[in-house]
Every structure is written in structure tokens, then in C-alpha cells.
């Protein structure tokens, strides 16, 4: 890409050919007012607020739609530019309502801010203002369309970024209105990003409507806790009440976007029934008690059951969105008292890969590379429901690249597929293996003799061959496996196939994980076959064995197996039959109170400090944004105190930072090890019933989103089967 030299407000600059004036100005911090322009959207040039003065051009021109040229001299503050900008502002304010005192966007409105500098104190417009009927966009987005200035950011976001045309403009001239095409609710899983994009108060967040003014809020940086991406967020709060959550820009993770799940799940902390004091069940009735009494009861029960069974009849199940510090202390504590039954994988069926020594699960490449992939192969991946922002990245790559899929269900895609195979669930591994056979025919010198023998008898058809060719021929290619793969009874076979195909085709590969901290839980050692950082451990029971065989006692850390497990019915029955169930949870509702005997209140997401490790291995630490209500305490502190009551050594932590530093030191000593299988796993036949599943659903994946009222009112809230109807893509 060539370079041109230009000057903006006296600053001599160099820019790439084809860049727009506003892009160059933004890079060097020169402010040009704008409404319709956004760096992630196409140029619309319909607000005309960014008018600038370019030498040798008689009239002011829009900076967002004017490409730079060699020797160009641009002025942003000349009378010509300012007069043009003031004229645009006058036109914008002709029909805009004077309702700033009641507008929820007041205090952080781009129109309000710019009108101070470019507006007049007296309007020449004396006619009646236009009034536009508000649109019902669903439970997440509130509208006041009379305020709309037709910047079309919301429309372009749906068309270009999401790939679903849910918003559009109808009418002409002064009769133009922005709305949905058939007066329906917006159903996209990233719909609320249009709230951030809207430069006026036409689109605002319905759950936080009229709850606070911008200047009343404090802002804390944090990490979202509902998928393996680890989106960066700002938590806006007043006192200890969280008012809203908005995206924090991080180009390598969530760019400037946020999924609705990450944005509105905070409601679980503010509007649900919280556990405020420790509780002990006596004669079938819950009794509030003090921490000392509850902790002593926990210690007494653990000593009784662990001592009588040498730890065999006691099991620990941790949630997928607890912090890495909590996972690390949980496994350190439980192993310290003589038990090795600990696991977080309540939806996994295939445990044959346990004990191989891999320290971390997830991807072996950075997520941002997906944007630039020339070929992407999806294996049982329902990205829009598993990791919505990754779906946006895959869609971005289809501007020049190819996306293929082998899915045992009708996926809900927001991008086009060049090839798609839909095998029966029980045949997923065989169908995937056929692609490896086709790839081996192209590059026959990579696979081992054992692998070739394993593949003997599997035939590749034209579609398999084309998928393999696309991966081989394109330098930037990857294989993405969805959450369902890790729940499949042949998960280890499919993982081996992906690793082998990646080796043959020179592709990147990885798999999505359920929850925000599966990688952190694995590194922390919250699995039965290995301790922290891949250390050796005495074997213990995995989640399937604990939940299906039944134990005398369970220790749950922000985990609700009766909902989350693939063996939910068996899990519920065994939890109800257990002698003692100890639950560390932020919530007092759900079915946990039915089967628990002791409930300890712990802080929820945004109420505790900690660290999440995302699917690509990034460690992201955060501080508590607000304090926990009542007597709730951070989970890591509860586990530390329990270890102290057992008189275990090595639990003298004063902060969560000391905990994570200890784990990180162990991790650095061994490195990010991902041990490959030297010998292919045996191909075990499974039935369609064993391989099929009903997924948790977009807003059922963890205790927080299940309790977020606004999310539960959306069309995507209920549990739905994995087979879902396809949406027409753009």
C-alpha cells in the first residue's frame, strides 16, 4: 500500500493511499465532529457534521468520505469549516425534541456535547416539530425515535457486522423513519451494541432506563464471565448497585462490541434473590446463622465423610465461571484434606484423554487471527449461541475467505458457507475423518503409519476433498470446534482428528469451551487426574462418576448440576439422596436449596477480585467493582478460611493477587503444554441417543444469566434443542 503526504491543521502527516481524512485525523488526535461515522462501519456520509476545509476545493467537504491525496492541505477550524458544521447542527436540531432533562442519554450524548460548540442559543425554526412513533424492539432496548437523527449506525451494524437485517430506514425526506421491517423485536444475540452506537438518546438500555445519570456513576474495568472469549467491560455503578455494563475496547478480544449475555447478566446480582447469610438446614427448614457456626459445621461434615471413606465418598464440583484463584484454592484445599474427587466438566462425556499432561485447553492461536482467515472449518460449532463475538469475526473473514462446516444440526449462521456436511451425531467423527483422508491424499508424508492404518477403510467424497483442498491451498486456515465436540462421547477422537488435520494442512486449530474460565480451571488443577499447572495427582473421580454413581457428600462452588450437567436428572436424584451437600453460591433461589444442607454466601461476578484465563490462554485479572451484599464473602477467602480450620499449611494469603501469583509461577515453570496423542484413540461406536444432546441455550449456561430478568424475556431465552432452523444470511 502506497503512502501520501498531507497536512492537517499545520501537522505534516503520512497516510496510506485510500484513507479518509477523518481516519488520518483520528490517528494523530485531531478532533473532527461526527455522528454517522464509526471506525467499524462503512462510510455513509449522511450527517455531514464532519465538514472540513480542503485547499483548492471551493466548498467544505465531509472528512469521512473524502480520501487523502498527495500534497493535500486540510483545515478543520477555518470559518468555512466551522460555518458548514454550524449549519449542519442547526438542521439537526430543527426537529430534535428539547427533552434533555428526561433523556436517559443526557450527560453522555454526542449531539448534546457537540451542540455546545456548534449550536446556537436561539433557533430560527418556529414551525411544529416532527413526532415519530416509538418502536418496541424487545426487553433490552428502549426507543424514543423522535430523537433519531438518521445516522443509520444501527442499520449498518446489523447489515455489515451482524449479518442480519433487523433494522432499516423507510420513507423519504422528512418522513424517513428507522425501525424494524415487520414491527418485530430484535432477536440478535449482540443487538444491544446499537445502544452504544446511537449518538443521541433514540436507543437506550431498557433495564437501566431512568435509574441514574451519567455523572452519578463510577466506572470500573472488569472481565465478562459467560463465554471463553473473556470480553473486556466497564461496570458502571452507584454505591454498591450495578447500573449497567458496557464494552471496554480491546481489539484482540472483543474489539468494541459486547454480547447481550455479557451486557445484561449483571441483573442477576441486583434483581435476583441473593443469599445474604450462611444457612444450615435443620429438620428440613433453613436457619440463618453466623459464619463461624456454618464453617465449623462444614469442617465437621467433611471430616466425618472424608475420614470414613478416605475421600472416596466426597466430591467437589466447581462452576465454569468461578475465578482461577477459587479453582486453585479449591483443588489445593480438597487434596490437602485427602480427597482427589474434583472436576468442573459437568457436561463432558469422554474422559479418555485425562492424565495426558496438557496444561491448558482451548486454542493454539490468537482469536483476532480469525478475522484474516482464508479458510475456516467449523466442527459442530454453533457460534452464535456459544460465542457470539467469535461469530462476528468469522463473518468478517468471509469478505475474502471461505467458511465450511461439519455440523450434526442446522446451524444458525450469520455468514455464508461454501461447503456444509450434516452427518448424524453418531457419525460426526467418521465424517470428519473423511476430510483427513482427503487431506492425506494431498500431503501424504505427514501422518504416521498408525494414523494411516486408523483411517483405512474411510472414503472421502467430493465435498470432503474440496474442504481439504481449501485448507491446504490457503496459507491462513483454521479448524474451530464447538462446545458440542467436548460433550460428544467421541470427543478425544474428534480432538485427535482436528490436531492431525491441522498438521497435514498447516492450519491453526482449537476448540470452544463452556463458560468463561474452563482454561483457568484446567490450569488451576480443578480436574481429578492432575493438580495445578499439570502437576501429578493421585487419580480421583471425574464429574460423570460423581454425578451418576452417587456420593455421600458434595461440595458445590457456584455450580448447579441439576441444570448444567448432561446427566441432570441423575445429578438431581443423587444430590437429593446425599447425606450432606455444601453449596458455596451467591444465590438463594433455584433448586440448590432443595438438596443442599449448608449454604455459604459468596460474592458474584463483579463483586470479587480474581483472574479469568480465556480460550487462547490470556490471563486477565480484575478488581472487585462493587462490594458483595449482606455477609457474602469472596469465594477464595471462604476456601482459605476452611483450609485454616483444617490447619493446612500454605494458605496464608492476604489477597487474591498472592494466590494467582503462586499459580502463575508454577505455570511459568512448566509452560503452556499441549500434549498431542502419539497413537490414535480407538474408534468406539456410539448410538445416536448417546451422541445427541439438548444444549443449554444461550441464556441458560450459568447461574448468572439464568437469573437475568431481561435476558429471560428474550425469544432466545428458553432451552432449545441443538437442531434449530437456519436464518437467511446477508
Per residue in 46-76, pLDDT tens?
A: 999 999 999 999 999 999 999 999 999 999 9
Alpha helices in 191-339 (DSSP H): 193-197, 260-264, 267-271, 291-309, 324-336
What digits encode the pLDDT tens for the residues 622-671? 999 999 999 999 999 999 999 999 999 999 999 999 999 999 999 999 88
Query: What's the rounded mean pLDDT across residues 257-276?
Result: 97
Residue of 561 and 724 predicted with greater confidence:
561
CATH number of 279-356+518-657: 3.40.50.740
| Coil, helix or strand at residue 322 | coil
pLDDT surpasses 90 at 690: no
Question: What is the SS3 assignment for 500-528?
Answer: HHHHHHCCEEEECCCCCCHHHHHHHCCEC
Q: Return the sign of the alpha-carbon dihedral for residues 618, 621, 626, 629.
A: positive
Please answer whether residues 436 and 496 qualify as being in contact, where contact means their C-beta atoms are separated by less than 8 angstroms. Answer: no
Region of residue 617 (phi > 0: left; psi between -120 and 50: alpha; otherwise: beta): left
Domain limits of the chain?
3-94, 110-114+138-271, 279-356+518-657, 367-512+677-704
Going by their DSSP bridges, the two strands 72-75 and 477-481 should be labelled as unpaired
Residue 512 confidence (pLDDT) above 70: yes
DSSP 8-class letter at 96: -
pTM for the predicted model, two decimal places: 0.94
CATH 2.40.30.10 at 3-94, yes or no = no
pLDDT tens per residue, range 170-209: 998 888 999 987 777 888 999 999 999 999 999 999 999 9
User: What span, in angstroms and rounded, lies between the C-alpha atoms of 522 and 509?
Assistant: 19
Q: Which of 218, 269, 290, 236 is nearest to 629 (CA)?
A: 269
**For residues 74 and 410, which has the higher predicted lDDT (pLDDT)?**
74
Looking at the domain that runs over 110-114+138-271, which CATH code has it been given? 3.30.70.20
Give the percent of the chain with pLDDT over 90: 86
Mapped onto helix, strand or coil, the DSSP state of residue 9 is coil
What pLDDT, on a 0 to 100 scale, did the predictor assign at position 355?
Answer: 77
Beta-carbon contacts of 521 under 8 Å, excluding residues fewer than 6 positions away, are: 318, 320, 322, 324, 327, 344, 527
CATH of 367-512+677-704, one of 3.40.228.10, 3.30.70.260, 3.30.450.40, 3.40.250.10: 3.40.228.10
Q: 403-407, 433-437, 556-560, 675-679 — which is least confidently predicted?
A: 675-679
Residue 718 has pLDDT above 70, yes or no: no
Question: Looking at residue 534, what is its pLDDT?
Answer: 87
pLDDT > 70: percent of the chain: 98
Would you state the pLDDT for residue 1?
65
Q: Residue 361: pLDDT above 90?
A: no
Give pLDDT, residue 724: 33
Amino acid at each position: 500500500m502506497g503512502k501520501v503526504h498531507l497536512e492537517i491543521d499545520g501537522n505534516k502527516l503520512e497516510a496510506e493511499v485510500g484513507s479518509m481524512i477523518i481516519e488520518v485525523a483520528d490517528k494523530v488526535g485531531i478532533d473532527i465532529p461526527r455522528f454517522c461515522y464509526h471506525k467499524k462501519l462503512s462510510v455513509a456520509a449522511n450527517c455531514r457534521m464532519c465538514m472540513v476545509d480542503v485547499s483548492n476545493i471551493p466548498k467544505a467537504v465531509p472528512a469521512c468520505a473524502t480520501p487523502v491525496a498527495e500534497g493535500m492541505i486540510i483545515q478543520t477550524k477555518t470559518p468555512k469549516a466551522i460555518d458548514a458544521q454550524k449549519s449542519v447542527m442547526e438542521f439537526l436540531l430543527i426537529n430534535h425534541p428539547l427533552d434533555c432533562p428526561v433523556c436517559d442519554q443526557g450527560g453522555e450524548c454526542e449531539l448534546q456535547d457537540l451542540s455546545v460548540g456548534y449550536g446556537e442559543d436561539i433557533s430560527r425554526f418556529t414551525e411544529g416539530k416532527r413526532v415519530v412513533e416509538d418502536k418496541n424492539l424487545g426487553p433490552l432496548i428502549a426507543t424514543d425515535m423522535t430523537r433519531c437523527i438518521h445516522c443509520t449506525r444501527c442499520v449498518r451494524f446489523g447489515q455489515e457486522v451482524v449479518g442480519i437485517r433487523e433494522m432499516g430506514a423507510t420513507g423519504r425526506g422528512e418522513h424517513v423513519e428507522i425501525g424494524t421491517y415487520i414491527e418485530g423485536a430484535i432477536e440478535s444475540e449482540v443487538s444491544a451494541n446499537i445502544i452504544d452506537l446511537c449518538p443521541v438518546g433514540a436507543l437506550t438500555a431498557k433495564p437501566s432506563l431512568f435509574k441514574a445519570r451519567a455523572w452519578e456513576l463510577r466506572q470500573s474495568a472488569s472481565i465478562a464471565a459467560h463465554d471463553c472469549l473473556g470480553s473486556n467491560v466497564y461496570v458502571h455503578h452507584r454505591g454498591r448497585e450495578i447500573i449497567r455494563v458496557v464494552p471496554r475496547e480491546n481489539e484482540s478480544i472483543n474489539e468494541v462490541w459486547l454480547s447481550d449475555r455479557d451486557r445484561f447478566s449483571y441483573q442477576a446480582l441486583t434483581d435476583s434473590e441473593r443469599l445474604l447469610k450462611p444457612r444450615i438446614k435443620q429438620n428440613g427448614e433453613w436457619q440463618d446463622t453466623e459464619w463461624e457456626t456454618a464453617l465449623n459445621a462444614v469442617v465437621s461434615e467433611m471430616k466425618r465423610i472424608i475420614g470414613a471413606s478416605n475421600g472416596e465418598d466426597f466430591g467437589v464440583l466447581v462452576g465454569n465461571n468461578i475465578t482461577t484463584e477459587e479453582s486453585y484454592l479449591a483443588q489445593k484445599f480438597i487434596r490437602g484434606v485427602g480427597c482427589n474427587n474434583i472436576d468442573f466438566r459437568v457436561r463432558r462425556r469422554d474422559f479418555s484423554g485425562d492424565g495426558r499432561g496438557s496444561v491448558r485447553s482451548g486454542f493454539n492461536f490468537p482469536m483476532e487471527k480469525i478475522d484474516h482467515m482464508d479458510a475456516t472449518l467449523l466442527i459442530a460449532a454453533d457460534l452464535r449461541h456459544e460465542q457470539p463475538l467469535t461469530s462476528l469475526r468469522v463473518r468478517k473473514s468471509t469478505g475474502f475467505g471461505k467458511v465450511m462446516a461439519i455440523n450434526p444440526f442446522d446451524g444458525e449462521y450469520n455468514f455464508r458457507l461454501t461447503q456444509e456436511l450434516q452427518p448424524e451425531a453418531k457419525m460426526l467423527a467418521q465424517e470428519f475423518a473423511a476430510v483427513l483422508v482427503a487431506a492425506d491424499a494431498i500431503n501424504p508424508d505427514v501422518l504416521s503409519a498408525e494414523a494411516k492404518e486408523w483411517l483405512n477403510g474411510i472414503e472421502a467424497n467430493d465435498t470432503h476433498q474440496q474442504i481439504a483442498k481449501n485448507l491446504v491451498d490457503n496459507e491462513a486456515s483454521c479448524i474451530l470446534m464447538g462446545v458440542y465436540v467436548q460433550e460428544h462421547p467421541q470427543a478425544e477422537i474428534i480432538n485427535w482428528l482436528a490436531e492431525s488435520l491441522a498438521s497435514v494442512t498447516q492450519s491453526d486449530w482449537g476448540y470452544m469451551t463452556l463458560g468463561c474460565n474452563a482454561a483457568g480451571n484446567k490450569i488451576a488443577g480443578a480436574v481429578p487426574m492432575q493438580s495445578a499447572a499439570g502437576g501429578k495427582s493421585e487419580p480421583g473421580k471425574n464429574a460423570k462418576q460423581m454425578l451418576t454413581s452417587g456420593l455421600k457428600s458434595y461440595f458445590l462452588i457456584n455450580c448447579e448440576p441439576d441444570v448444567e450437567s448432561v446427566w441432570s436428572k441423575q445429578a438431581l436424584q443423587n444430590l437429593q439422596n446425599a447425606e450432606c451437600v455444601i453449596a458455596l453460591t451467591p444465590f438463594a433461589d433455584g433448586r440448590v436449596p432443595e438438596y443442599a444442607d449448608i449454604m455459604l454466601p459468596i460474592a458474584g461476578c463483579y463483586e470479587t477480585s480474581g483472574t479469568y484465563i480465556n480460550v487462547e490462554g490470556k490471563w486477565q485479572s480484575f478488581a472487585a467493582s462493587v462490594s458483595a451484599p449482606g455477609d457474602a464473602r469472596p469465594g477464595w477467602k471462604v476456601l482459605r478460611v476452611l483450609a485454616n480450620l483444617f490447619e493446612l499449611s500454605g494458605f496464608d494469603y492476604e489477597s487474591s493477587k498472592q494466590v494467582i501469583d503462586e499459580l502463575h509461577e508454577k505455570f511459568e515453570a512448566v509452560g503452556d503444554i499441549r500434549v498431542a496423542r502419539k497413537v490414535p484413540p480407538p474408534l468406539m461406536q456410539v448410538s445416536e441417543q448417546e451422541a445427541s444432546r439438548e444444549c443449554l441455550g444461550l441464556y441458560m449456561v450459568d447461574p448468572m444469566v439464568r437469573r437475568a430478568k431481561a435476558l429471560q424475556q428474550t425469544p432466545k431465552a428458553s432451552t432449545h434443542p441443538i437442531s434449530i432452523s437456519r436464518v437467511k444470511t446477508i
